[in-house]
Structure 1
Amino acid sequence: MASPGKPPSPVAKREDPEAASRREISRMLKGPVAERFSTLVPPLAAHAEVYKTVMESPELLDACFKIFRSRRDAFADLLVDEQDQPVEADDVRLKCGRSVNEIIGMCVRTGMRNFAEAHFGDSITPAKDAKPAKAPPKAPSKGRFKLLNVIGLGELFKRNYGTDRPAPAGISNSGRFYASIKDALDFEWQVRFFPIYVQIPAHVFNKLGVGITRMDTETRLQQLAQLAVNDISKAESVLKNPQMIQEMLDNNVLASSTVNELGSIGFANIHGALDHLDAKKKWDVLANKDTALRLHEDKRITQQDIVALSEYLDRLNEFALDAIFDLRLNRDQMQMFLKTAEENLGPKLFMALFGPIQTVVPDDHEEQQKLRRYQNFTQSSLRGLVTAVKQLEDNLRRSGGESGIAECLGTVCRSRRPDLEAEIKKLAPVSVGA
């Protein structure tokens, strides 16, 4: 019991668990994790603040993520749960209170924050009396992207989506940009796109969010830049349902161009046949524009056919669809045909012949010519496979032999694979890769 007239002893304030977790993660990253990377990457040991050095360089941050993936064993003693038991899965909570995936997301956001400040030349949280900086944007590093002119891409976004208005008083350019993107950053592969992200106006991130940061290739970012805000608005008027609009924006905003061209009736027809797929797969199919449009336009293709092919439609070109229907395959044979082709050609060659055809044209004239030759070759090779399968099947039938489409296709693919691989390697432009 407290003595009369004596004030009670102050009760110690319990620390917020979230704040404690963040503090512990920061301690680990700046201490044991940084020391481990200094051992694995000796040049880092020369820096007094390894964590700060890495977070200020997208190239170093990207490299550290790759080292972590290839040498996860070197961090095994740090990847433990509250009972000090090893944690193998990236989505399981560690002793520090976060999972590997969550810590990666934190690092990506910190790296983006630092890169934005360096690019815009001001602080995320400026002093109250500071005026927005007008420093020229920092030029992106050369040679980091095979296909894209980063400055040109930024101009394309500004032309098609509009530029940002001047930042309000008390808000810096980097602060406005970072606020628009931070909730859309979660994955380590996004680090390599930092130089592109800072070229995109903040209001575009406010509207599209993860619709931009889920574009995981240079080609997809280029396709997104080529869309206009009006294209997305038109697609929204076709969809009408706000929940479905948001689902499209969150999963693959490139589908908006397809939705636009399909119109209400065409979209309802295709979407109805894809409704059994998970949201990402469904919108990836619709983003594969030429193939999705062919599904609607080709009167041979029914909703039941679309269902039968649905697992492949996000990675088939329209000429592959022609091949399937030119051979008059029934629905049971369709997936078998594609599986047989993939097994006998191998995944890489299968995608070269059957996969979506690149529509983004490189800036370099020689690369443009090479891309056209490559595209023509893949299309003619696919037609050649179909012709050869038909001929082999006809010859076997005339001679009294019994062999189905799958056996004929397997034979043709195996016999042609070496020559096709050699030609693809010779013709593939830099933007595609051999």
Structure 2
Amino acid sequence: MADKGKPAAKPVDKDAAQRKEIIRTIKGPVTDRLLELIPAFAAYEDPYGTILATPDLLFACLTLVKTRRDKFQEFLVDAAGNPVMDDQTPLRCDRSVDQIVGMVVRSATKAYSDKRWGSAHTPAAKIVHKPETRSILDKLGELVRGKWSEAEVPKPSATQGDKFYAAIKDHLDYDWQVPLIPYFAEIPIKLINELGRGVTTLRTPEGIAALADIGRHSMDSARKILSDDMMREMLDTQPLAAKGVAFLGKERYEFLHGAIYERIGDKFWEVCVDCDRLEAMEVQNAKDLEQMSAWLHLISGETINQIVRFLQFHQIPVFLEVALDKLGEETFKNIFGPPGNKKLIKMFCEKTSKTPLDPNDPIEDLKRRLPDVFGAYLRAPGDFEKGL
């Protein structure tokens, strides 16, 4: 009988081998190092599994690795054994720190969903949240139950965790997403699938709750108003804009889109998040909106109204540009963004309108004088607000 020889050896899956080695290193030496730095973790029967399935603990550990990198440097080396000091250069496992963080975030989401809903082999565990976390999760649960159809509300079942993880896993890459895992878990799976990478625009629990507050009706209304391409762009960029699009209706949406979209691109969706801003924009002419288009996603409806009331057409972009430059984005948004400071908005606009300007070159003269107006506020905000 002819010798057919031994069966061919299976080809080595290098990628799978690298993943296994990464997991082995994290579960073993890296977790041991964490236990040295935070001895309290040793009280857990399974420190690695507990940390992985508990977003608050995991985020604290990821932050520790980032801030005390020296304590983990022996694991952060390249193929030649040289220290890697950034998060983008591949380590000896052919993955960068950023890529490994993405792996950990996805693994943590799977571990949390299994704990939250149970799996085919294990029942759901009782999850205890901090009071501040519990409060917004309760609110989020009420919003989902009240504003999304019953068929879309997550229900405990043997496969719910798998469905949730399958819907969100391709959009998990960043350490800042870890504390949000419990909130993502409350979003209807159908909505996660709709959002696609738009999930990554939801960077706070409040943002996720705001999306739930919008409700299915607004999302469906926006879909009827927008083209397929615009709907996809909105969901990928700022899904909270669905509320504003639904508020506008087709005719008013088309007017505002035609007036400013080409000038500001996908920042248009940030503009649509605030309905008060949209309401103020509707009563202005397209030329005035064009003049302030670069700042519309930052400013409030009150700012728009006061600017148009007090400033001349060509003064508008000068005023906003100097204000943002002199005040800085945070202070600018606190004053001129929603909800803003109505008193200061009016004072700044009024002072600008009364500033004496060189009639031969009023715009250049305004550029020279305006920094002093905002500088006076920065030097003594209280005195400025009192009109001193």
Do they fold alike, i.e. is TM over 0.5? yes
Change over 3 Å in CA distance of 1:44–1:9 after alignment to 2: same
Q: 1:102 offset after TM fit, Å?
A: 2.5
Residue 408 (1) aligns with residue 369 (2)? yes
User: Are 1:115 and 2:81 an aligned pair?
Assistant: no
Change (3 A) 1:85 1:356: farther
Q: Residue in 1 aligned with 2:327?
A: 345
Which residue number corresponds to residue 361 of structure 1? none
1:225-240 paired onto structure 2 within 5 Å:
225-239=212-226
Q: 1:156 aligns to what?
A: 143
Q: 1:83, CA displacement in angstroms?
A: 4.7
* Contact 2:62 2:175 (8 Å CA) reproduced: yes
Q: How large is the RMSD of aligned CA atoms in angstroms? A: 3.6
* Cα shift readout 1:198-239 (whole Å, capped 9, x = no counterpart): 333333323334444521123322321211212111111111
Q: Distance in 2 between matches of 1:26 and 1:209?
A: 27
- Give the aligned partner of residue 328 of structure 1: 311
Q: Which moved more, 1:345-354 or 1:40-49?
A: 40-49
- 1:254 corresponds to 2:240: yes
Choose from 33, 38, 41 the match for 2:38.
41
Match of 1:274 in 2: 261
Tell me what 1:355 maps to.
337
- The alignment's TM-score, normalised by the length of structure 1, stands at 0.75
Pick closer, same or farther for the CA change 1:97–1:407 going to 2, 3 Å. same
Kept in 2: contact 1:140–1:195 (CA 8 A): no
Report the Cα distance in structure 1 between the residues aligned to 2:342 and 2:150, rounded to whole angstroms.
40
Residues 165 and 324 (structure 1), Cα distance of their counterparts in 2 relative to 1, 3 Å cut: closer
> In the alignment, is the contact (CA less than 8 A) between 1:164 and 1:202 conserved in 2?
no
* Shift in alpha-carbon separation, 1:300–1:383, aligned structure 2, 3 A: farther
CA distance, structure 2, for counterparts of residue 166 and residue 155 of structure 1: 10
Which residue number in structure 2 is paired with residue 143 of structure 1?
132
Amino acid at match of 1:150: L
Distance 1:303 1:89, change over 3 A: farther
1:51 match: 48
Instruction: Give a deviation string over 1:294-351, Cα, whole Å, max 9, x none.
Output: 3343126456425xx32x33222222333443443555x5454334223433443222
Normalized per residue, which structure has more helix? 2
Report runs of 4+ in structure 1 exceeding 6 Å deviation.
165-170, 421-424
CA gap 1:77/1:318 in 2 versus in 1, 3 angstroms: farther
State the alpha-carbon separation in 2 of the partners of residues 88 and 349 from structure 1: 34
Aligned-partner SS, 2:297: helix
CA–CA separation in structure 2 for the residues paired with 1:92 and 1:413: 44
TM-score by length of 2: 0.82
Instruction: Tell whether the 8 Å contact from 1:158 to 1:201 is kept in structure 2 after alignment.
Output: no
Percent of residue pairs identical: 28
Q: Is the 8 A contact 1:153 1:222 kept in 2?
A: yes
Preserved CA contact (<8 Å) 1:82 1:94: yes
Letter in 1 for 2:31: A
Q: Is the 8 A contact 1:62 1:192 kept in 2?
A: yes
Corresponding position of 2:300: 317
1:222 aligns with 2:205: no
In the alignment, structure 2 segments of 5+ residues that lack a partner are none
Contact kept in structure 2, 1:349 and 1:421, CA below 8 Å: no
Q: Is the 8 A contact 1:269 1:303 kept in 2?
A: no
Counterpart-to-counterpart distance in 2, 1:18 and 1:288: 46
- Unaligned regions of 5+ residues in structure 1, if any? 358-374, 425-434
Structure 1 residue identity aligned to 2:261: L
Amino acid at match of 1:410: P
Aligned residues: 382
1:269-308 mapped onto 2 (5 Å cutoff): 269-272=255-258, 273-275=260-262, 277=264, 279=266, 281-299=267-285, 301-302=287-288, 304-305=290-291
Partner in structure 1 of residue 170 of structure 2: 183
Contact 2:102–2:175 (Cα < 8 Å) also in 1: yes
- State the 1:55 CA deviation: 0.6
Corresponding residue for residue 362 of structure 1: none
Once the two structures are superposed, residues 51-98 of structure 1 have per-residue CA deviations (whole angstroms, 9 ceiling, x without a partner) of 323212211111122223323344444334445555455444433233
Using the TM superposition, give the Cα deviation of residue 413 of structure 1 relative to its aligned residue in structure 2, in angstroms: 2.1
CA 1:47 to 1:153, structure 2 compared with 1: closer, same or farther past 3 Å? Answer: closer
Contact 1:288 1:315 (C-alpha < 8 Å) held by counterparts: no
Please state whether the residue corresponding to 2:193 is helix, strand or coil.
helix
